[in-house]
Amino acid sequence: MATAILVDLFHLSCPTYGACVVEHTKRVSALIDNDANGPVYLILCQPREVTSDTRNLEQHFSRKKQTQVLKHECIAASLYTFKQAVDESGITEVEVITSAQRRTIIQMYLDLLFTAIYKFEFKVVLDHLDCSFDSPTMTRVQFTDVKDEVSNFLQHLPAVRGEITILGSSLISDCFSHGFTTRSGGISYISTLSSLNLFSSSRRRDPKAVVAENLRRLGLKAGFQPHQFHLIKTNHASDVWVMGKTPPESYDGIVTNQAGVVIAAPGADCMPLLFSDPVAKVIGVAHAGWKGTLMGVAMTTANAMVSEFGSKLEDIVVVIGPSVGPCCFTLERNSAKEFHSIHPDCVRDIESPMPYVDIRLATRILLQRGGLLPEHIQDDTVTDRPNVTLCTSCHPESFFSHVRDGINFGTQIGFLWIKESSDIQQIDS
Ligand SMILES: *[C@@H]1O[C@H](CO)[C@@H](O)[C@H](O)[C@H]1NC(C)=O
């Protein structure tokens, strides 16, 4: 795989910027002519007059390699364009040519806009020229300034596909706000993460700043602030965080009786489960894939609502969100057998090496055995309500899916909160 070369010539405080860029460019071109095997990107300051035009700059390099000049109003914009280019060509290795002082600043941007799958190697060669490229004022750039610049830039990007569309269940009482997200309305541009990806993994190409921007847009649409938002820290097990207590290191359930706090469960085939008790005003969310289902995470969450906040099982309502259907999900026979022992109907063709498994049905059966009322559970069998238990794998236009898209999958969520009493009065009046 090729290595991209990023040449940082962005140094606004230089009074002789044009001459300086030419000088740096000569130096860099001599350096990379020998050992580069990938595309070269030059980051320039847009507002400055560059004496030699950018075509001249490109010609310094173009005899041997593909060169692009990135000339945006801010570094965040240039680095984002650079990221789109390397993502397009599948590149993950980058050599950054800059000065010692600017290295720290560039690193701040890279931390926000890239993930651990990208490998950056710094070459500090642009020092000792007679300009203010390395002026001391440069080092006063604060991380918060960089963060503000990046988030401000991302806020102004157009949505990649359509508007945010949120699915809702008519089984959940109006004293709660809730929803299941779909793919549209975010800014993630990589095909399997596009566009409202709501989880940043160090193993994929969507950085935290992009996911934070997607969450901000979701909050605007749904009516919450990102700082009120708490997403399950999944481990495919059955630990539950009782909000107010110290959270476990990871947990696949959250329960609370605090109004205004948004709790959310991720999923990309795994089930986001929303629990609500309109009598005691208690809520819960759970993330259940096949492992969590077998470990009983759904019933553990319901039981936590009972033991911690005084819910009665017969008052709890559970909605199973978009997730992989029995049409698309297979397991090895040994694991499928565990579902078969919950109920034979959970498995189709148990004798095949990879039987089809119905994790929703297993969830319903376990919840009913635990004491929930059948009519208080919404899944893909419920016909008298709008269907929210859609198959993630069957609907590429609406949902992310691990089974369908492989390891670079994006993540949708189910979210829920108890409305503040002032919100409810506003609605009543
Ligand atoms: C809900 O949608 C899924 C397809 O995503 C389908 O398999 C299921 O039968 C639907 N349920 C109802 C009640 O229509």
Stretch among 133-142, 167-176, 240-249 having the lowest mean pLDDT: 133-142
Integer Cα distance of 26 and 169 in angstroms? 63
Residue 160 included in any domain: no
Contact 418, 257 (CB under 8 A): yes
What's the sign of the alpha-carbon dihedral 99, 102, 104, 108? negative
Give 428's contacts (C-beta < 8 A, 6+ positions apart).
Answer: none
Q: How many domains does the chain have?
A: 2
Q: What was the pLDDT predicted at 142? A: 86
Distance from C-alpha of 83 to C-alpha of 392, rounded to nearest angstrom: 28
Residue type, position 98, single letter:
T
Residues 117 and 219 in one domain: no
Domain of residue 298, CATH code: 3.60.140.10
Atom number, ligand 1, closest to the C-alpha of residue 395: 5
End-to-end distance of the chain based on CA atoms, in angstroms? 63
Between CA 24 and CA 189 the distance in angstroms is 33
Digit-coded pLDDT (tens) for 19-67:
777 788 888 877 776 656 789 998 988 655 555 555 666 666 655 567 8
Predicted confidence band at 68 (pLDDT cuts at 50, 70, 90)? confident
Position 364 confidence tier, pLDDT thresholds 50, 70, 90: very high
Rg (CA), the chain: 26
Range of 422's domain? 166-428
Which CA distances in Å does 411 have to 337, 341, 346, 375? 28, 30, 25, 29
- 389 domain residue, yes or no: yes
Choose the final residue of a domain: 155, 184, 217.
155
**Cα atoms in the Cβ-side hemisphere of radius 13 Å centred on 46:** 9
Report whether 222 contacts 177 (CB < 8 A).
Answer: yes
State whether 200 and 300 are in the same domain.
yes
* pLDDT for residue 217: 98
* Final residue in a domain of this structure, among 155, 189, 214: 155
Residues with CB under 6 A from ligand 1: 325, 380, 382-383, 387, 389-391, 394
- CA-CA distances (angstroms) from residue 211 to 155, 161, 400? 11, 15, 14
* Alpha carbon distance 250, 257 (integer Å): 20
Last residue of a domain, one of 155, 188, 212: 155
From 390, 395, 397, give the residue whose CB has the most ligand 1 atoms within 8 Å, as the site to mutate. Answer: 390
Does any domain span residue 161?
no
CATH of the domain at 145: 3.40.50
Kindly state whether residues 317 and 373 are assigned to the same domain.
yes
Q: Are residues 175 and 137 in the same domain?
A: no
What's the whole-model pTM score?
A: 0.93
Whether 235 and 384 map to the same domain: the answer is: yes
Q: Locate the ligand 1 atom nearest the alpha carbon of residue 391 and give its number.
A: 5
Do 149 and 289 belong to one domain? no
